[in-house]
């Protein structure tokens, strides 16, 4: 059988790194082929070469048996190649339909495209309003736009770069059913993911990369998570160890927090109440787009509309306090958007330190201590094993996983009293994810109050002491993780949790 795609000796060099070093890859018609590797292994660069975003320095590419030169994404789409990027290629000021239309013929009718988008989203369970502007979407919703855009092109080869990182387990299963159906119809799929269980459940073949080179090819269905991890990072990921500690006093509380929509497509926050204790991790589960962004904005101080007595810290009302004031009091924040919010893309890693470190150690009487911020950036890079071209590397040059490690590290070394984290391990390999989770647990055990917003239920169950669920802008009662189950949390993610009255009656009967 003629290969759908064949790469031979593909090499791509950058000034500070060889991203791809003589890579060979063969994908057959109807095959779901995983590309597995730790952050910075060269996976995303290879996919961009296939899609025409990046051009190789050397090597050959064959498409359906014919030698091909893919000079641009437009050429790739004409051949029948679709791609869902890990970092989205969307214009914030355009609607969902307008973004998708950019890759279609100029005579495409927008009303017909609206209808096609609605049909695709219903078929694949990817809830999306085609008339919404992209700047109003959450990260998970932006990913849905990319998936729908790729599927509309009816591709012969579909490239998926971390497609399930912000999907619920139910949505993942539906996506897998779709991908299996596409493969059965002859579509080839290149699947990049750090979730080993997904690769074993879905993929027929797995190519493993390390430091830009192919280190092995296997059938993942015959492997275990442990054996795949050893192939990828040379060892099994460390187990996150926890020591049973009693939580301390309440340090942060939300009391009847209400926030109207900031724009027509935002989620209204309704009567949100919870307590966060020192020395505990409170997990916030939920489907993307149910108010996570708005809650993070309220907790961080970015949204100035919060009522004074809706948030309390150490028994004092702080709802009216600014983000800068909260940082000075020991808050730390990790947003879900790495580029543009977590970091300034065009600035170096050293300069990005100043986004959260503005103390006398780094800034003295208005003068920046460049030696201090460079030293601090170097220590973060070393401690968190960030693969980067040194402290002068710009943030946008890092892979998604390495940038996430740097942002997490930047906040952890501040030793915050309260840490609010959104999607801590999104797109991060198994080794780095274990390290990040271990750092969060270590903060908790040092007395820090940690709130983790994540769509990764396995992650929340692994590290959280208690869980709440956010759905349609409301928050469920808190439940101890030891008393929760995936099925229960899945039900609550649809908004089906007991009222406070029902919960009180259940406790009384118990």
Q: For the segment 137-150, what is each residue's pLDDT rounded down to a tens digit?
A: 876 678 788 888 88
Candidates 444, 441, 451, 465; CA nearest to 419 is: 451
- Band of residue 242 on the pLDDT scale cut at 50, 70, 90: low
- Band of residue 194 on the pLDDT scale cut at 50, 70, 90: confident
- Mean of the per-residue pLDDT values for the chain? 88
One domain, residues 178 and 287: no
- Band of residue 509 on the pLDDT scale cut at 50, 70, 90: very low
Residues near 115 by beta carbon (within 8 Å), at least 6 away in sequence: none
Whether 287 contacts 493, CB under 8 Å? yes
Q: What is the mean pLDDT of residues 20-36?
A: 96
CATH code of the domain covering residue 504 = 3.40.50.300
One domain, residues 135 and 217: yes
One domain, residues 369 and 486: no
pLDDT at residue number 298? 96
pLDDT at residue number 447? 94
CA dist., res. 475 & res. 492, Å (int): 10
pLDDT in tens, 334-374: 998 888 889 999 999 999 999 888 877 888 878 888 999 99
Contacts by residues 121-126 (CB-CB < 8 Å, ≥ 24 positions apart)? 121/148, 123/178, 124/148, 124/151, 124/174, 124/175, 124/178, 125/170, 125/171, 125/174, 125/175, 126/171
pTM of the model: 0.70
pLDDT of residue 448 exceeding 90, the answer is yes
pLDDT at residue number 235? 67
CA dist., res. 202 & res. 173, Å (int): 10
Residue 494 falls inside a structural domain = yes
- Band of residue 126 on the pLDDT scale cut at 50, 70, 90: confident
pLDDT in tens, 304-335: 999 999 999 999 999 999 999 999 999 999 99
CA dist., res. 271 & res. 473, Å (int): 9
One domain, residues 447 and 466: yes
Q: What is the mean pLDDT of residues 264-273?
A: 91
Q: CA angle, 478 as apex, 293 and 323 as ends, to 5°?
A: 35
CB half-sphere exposure, 106, CA atoms < 13 A:
0
pLDDT at residue number 345? 92
Q: What is the mean pLDDT of residues 107-116?
A: 93
CA dist., res. 70 & res. 303, Å (int): 45
CA dist., res. 411 & res. 185, Å (int): 47
One domain, residues 372 and 487: no
Q: What is the mean pLDDT of residues 413-430?
A: 89
pLDDT at residue number 37? 87
Residue 112 falls inside a structural domain = yes
pLDDT at residue number 510? 41
pLDDT of residue 508 exceeding 60, the answer is no
pLDDT at residue number 275? 97
One domain, residues 378 and 426: no
Q: Where are the alpha helices (DSSP H) in 303-384?
A: 323-328, 349-352, 370-383
pLDDT of residue 446 exceeding 50, the answer is yes
- Token pair for 395: 């943030």
Residue 445 falls inside a structural domain = yes
Residue 340 falls inside a structural domain = no
Q: Assign residue 330 a region: left if phi > 0, alpha if psi is -120 to 50, beta otherwise?
A: left
pLDDT of residue 300 exceeding 90, the answer is yes
pLDDT of residue 483 exceeding 90, the answer is yes
Residue 335 falls inside a structural domain = no
- Token pair for 503: 């919960």
pLDDT of residue 432 exceeding 70, the answer is yes
- Band of residue 505 on the pLDDT scale cut at 50, 70, 90: very low
pLDDT of residue 55 exceeding 60, the answer is yes
- Domain carrying residue 385: 345-414
Quick one: CA dihedral 129, 297, 355, 435, positive or negative?
A: negative
One domain, residues 357 and 489: no
pLDDT of residue 165 exceeding 90, the answer is no
Whether 10 contacts 23, CB under 8 Å? yes
Candidates 238, 257, 272; CA nearest to 310 is: 257
One domain, residues 162 and 44: yes
Number of domains in the chain: 3
CA dist., res. 179 & res. 182, Å (int): 5
Residue 339 falls inside a structural domain = no
- Which has more pLDDT, 10 or 89? 10
Q: Which of 355, 386, 414 is the last residue of a domain?
A: 414
Quick one: CA dihedral 278, 283, 289, 290, positive or negative?
A: negative
- Which has more pLDDT, 232 or 404? 404
One domain, residues 407 and 423: no
CA dist., res. 304 & res. 309, Å (int): 13
Q: Which of 414, 449, 469 is the last residue of a domain?
A: 414
Residues near 223 by beta carbon (within 8 Å), at least 6 away in sequence: 200, 206, 231
- Token pair for 87: 């970092």
CA dist., res. 172 & res. 258, Å (int): 31
Q: Which of 367, 384, 414 is the last residue of a domain?
A: 414
Residue 49 falls inside a structural domain = yes
What are the residues facing 191 on neighbouring strands? 34, 160
pLDDT of residue 131 exceeding 70, the answer is yes
CB half-sphere exposure, 200, CA atoms < 13 A:
12
CA dist., res. 272 & res. 440, Å (int): 24
pLDDT in tens, 76-105: 989 999 988 766 778 989 999 999 998 788
pLDDT of residue 507 exceeding 60, the answer is no
Candidates 491, 437, 486, 490; CA nearest to 464 is: 437
If you search the block for the tokens 């219903």, which residue do you land on? Answer: 122
What b-and-e string marks burial along 479-489, b requiring 16 or more CB atoms within 10 Å of the CB? Answer: bebeebeeeeb
Residue 338 falls inside a structural domain = no
């Amino acid at each position: 059988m003629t290969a759908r795609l064949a790469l031979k000796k593909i090499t791509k060099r950058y000034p500070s790194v060889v991203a791809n070093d003589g890579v060979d890859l063969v994908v057959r018609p109807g095959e779901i082929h995983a590309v597995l590797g730790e952050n910075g292994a060269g996976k995303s660069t290879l996919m961009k070469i296939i899609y025409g975003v990046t051009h190789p320095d050397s090597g050959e590419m064959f498409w359906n048996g014919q030698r091909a030169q893919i000079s641009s994404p437009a050429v790739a789409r004409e051949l029948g190649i679709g791609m869902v990027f890990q970092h989205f290629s969307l214009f914030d000021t355009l609607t969902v339909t307008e973004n998708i239309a950019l890759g279609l013929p100029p005579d495409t009718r927008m009303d017909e495209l609206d209808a096609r988008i609605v049909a695709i989203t219903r078929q694949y369970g990817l809830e999306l309003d085609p008339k919404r502007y992209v700047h109003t979407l959450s990260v998970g919703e932006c990913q849905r736009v990319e998936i729908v855009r790729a599927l509309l092109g009816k591709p012969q080869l579909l490239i998926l770069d971390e497609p399930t990182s912000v999907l619920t387990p139910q949505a993942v299963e539906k996506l897998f059913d779709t991908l299996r159906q596409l493969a059965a119809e002859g579509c080839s799929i290149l699947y990049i993911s750090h979730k080993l269980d997904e690769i074993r459940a879905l993929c027929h073949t797995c190519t493993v990369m390390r430091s830009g080179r192919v280190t092995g090819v296997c059938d993942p269905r015959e492997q275990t998570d442990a054996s795949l991890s050893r192939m990828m990072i040379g060892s099994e990921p460390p187990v996150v160890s926890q020591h049973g500690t009693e939580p301390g006093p309440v340090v942060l509380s939300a009391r009847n927090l209400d926030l109207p929509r900031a724009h027509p497509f935002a989620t209204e926050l309704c009567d949100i109440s919870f307590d966060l204790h020192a020395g505990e991790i409170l997990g916030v589960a939920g489907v993307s787009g149910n108010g996570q962004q708005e809650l993070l904005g309220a907790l961080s101080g970015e949204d100035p509309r919060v009522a004074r007595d809706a948030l309390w810290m150490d028994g004092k009302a702080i709802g009216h306090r600014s983000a800068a004031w909260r940082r000075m009091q020991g808050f730390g924040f990790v947003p879900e958007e790495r580029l543009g919010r977590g970091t300034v893309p065009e600035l170096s890693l050293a300069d990005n330190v100043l986004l959260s470190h503005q103390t006398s150690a780094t800034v003295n009487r208005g003068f920046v201590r460049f030696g201090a911020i460079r030293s601090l950036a170097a220590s973060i890079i070393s401690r968190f094993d960030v693969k980067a071209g040194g402290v002068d590397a710009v943030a946008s040059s890092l892979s998604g996983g390495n940038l996430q490690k740097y942002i997490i590290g930047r906040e952890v070394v501040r030793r915050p009293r309260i840490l609010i984290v959104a999607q801590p391990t999104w797109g991060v390999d198994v080794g780095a994810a274990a390290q990040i989770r271990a750092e969060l647990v270590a903060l908790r055990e040092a007395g820090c109050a940690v709130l983790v917003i994540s769509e990764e239920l396995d992650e929340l169950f692994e590290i959280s002491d208690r869980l709440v669920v956010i759905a349609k802008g409301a928050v469920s009662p808190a439940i101890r993780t030891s008393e929760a189950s995936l099925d229960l949390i899945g039900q609550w993610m649809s908004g089906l949790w007991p009222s406070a009255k029902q919960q009180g009656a259940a406790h009384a009967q118990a």
